[in-house]
Amino acid sequence: MPRFPVVTPQRSYDAIIERGLISRASGYVPASAGIVFVVTTEDVWKLFGAALESALRGRSFKVLFFPGGEERKRLSEVEKLAEQMVEAGGDRTSLVIAFGGGIVNDIGGFLASAFMRGIPLVQIPTTLLAQVDAAVGGKTGVNLVSGKNLFGAFHQPLAVLIDPDALATLSDREYRAGLYEVIKCGVIRDPELFRLLESRHDDVLARGPEVVDRIIAAAVRIKAEVVSADEREGDLRRILNFGHTVGHALEAETAYSRFLHGEAVAFGMKAATLLARGAAELPDADCSRILDVIDDYGPIPALDGIAVDRLLARLQSDKKTLKGKVHFVLPERIGAVRVVSGVPDNEIRSAIEEALTGLWGRMSSCAAVVNRRRPINNRPQLNKLPHIGH
């Protein structure tokens, strides 16, 4: 089964994809570790707790339940978990297993990064989104009132254990939310993965084991390569934010309650793709294919009541995080993207409006808007990023 090395200045480790791996997790927890704290939710524990429990038989471990929900991914919850660890005798030899979806991986990872100034972590993601994105690469953290994931740390795990069998019980909606992050990987770096998502649509949605293993492996390979080249998101790692600029604005605007993260990213990818027609010269055919594949794995929840002005205001308030400029990851073609800043507000507005209303016309090409492109010398600044592989 595939293993993808993640090599960072902080630590090098493998993301391992193997069916049934949860029940073999013990092999990835060093014998020298003290108490193993499993951070999870009650739902995940009901489904997979027995498998992990049998894997940890003979070890000293304690299960800590997090109530779940993006709105509860807060510092106050980390403090509660840390107090429970101290009460249970946790010390610097303890280890955290973050066992669940993206939110559990974020909060459990952050807990490990800060408990006793940092203890080892093993990530066991159980949703597709966490398997292909959240659990790989060491980003951990919680939300602040002022924004998502604004408080956290890079804390690389000892291993990421990806068991695709865990996906069998995932709701259809959660599964599709994870598929959007896989689509993201295809657009930013892997035309072959993108074609696979187009051509094996029904098998992918039916969760055929062979194709599921392939798409997970392709996405994790990309994530591992990108993080290994740029752990701290100084440069290349920013490409993983395709769809996230507008996606985060949509999540914040709907108080993290209407859209799953992957669904918000799907909307953000549509907006970025529509924006890319003018700003990054995305060919019409590629533009249509990206919009179509996102729709084919949909739908996302209804967008009614979302005002473009409110999303634009959210983007502006995010400006402070990147030297006062809104940055977009825009596809140049399927498999290659650029990070772009300085896109005129009216173009951002049009792209978001079109994403909200679907005005581009499904299956019609993006040619209708090509004439709106600016002359070449009036294009926004394209920050060149290295392309490895494709």
237 is catalytic: yes
Among residues 57, 87, 117, 378, the one annotated as catalytic is: 117
Stretch of 132-140, 162-170, 212-220, 365-373 lying at the interface with ligand GLY (CB under 6 A)? 132-140
Instruction: Provide, rounded to whole angstroms, the least separation between the CB of residue 133 and ligand GLY.
Output: 5
Determine the angle formed by the axes of helices 261-279 and 244-253, rounding to 10 degrees: 130
Instruction: Provide, rounded to whole angstroms, the least separation between the CB of residue 379 and ligand GLY.
Output: 26
- Give 139 or 314: the residue with its C-beta nearer to ligand GLY: 139
- 132 interacts with ligand GLY by CB under 6 A: no
- Give 6 or 51: the residue with its C-beta nearer to ligand GLY: 6
- Give 185 or 311: the residue with its C-beta nearer to ligand GLY: 185
Could you say which of 111, 217, 240, 293 contacts ligand GLY (CB under 6 A)? 240
- 133 interacts with ligand GLY by CB under 6 A: yes
Could you say which of 48, 110, 139, 242 contacts ligand GLY (CB under 6 A)? 139
CA distance 154 to 114: 11
* Order of strands, sheet of 3-7, starting from the edge strand that comes earlier in the sequence: 3-7, 12-17, 159-162, 121-125, 95-100, 36-40, 61-65
- 221 interacts with ligand GLY by CB under 6 A: no
| DSSP code for 132 | I
Element (H, E) at 103: helix 102-114
CA distance 329 to 242: 5
**What would the 3-class secondary structure string for 264-327 be?**
HHHHHHHHHHHHHHHHCCCCHHHHHHHHHHHHHCCCCCCCCCCCHHHHHHHHHHCHHHHCCCCE
The residue sitting closest to ligand GLY, measured at its beta carbon, is 240
Among residues 148, 176, 189, 244, the one annotated as catalytic is: 244
Q: Which residues bind ligand GLY (CB under 6 A)?
A: 133, 137, 139, 233, 237, 240
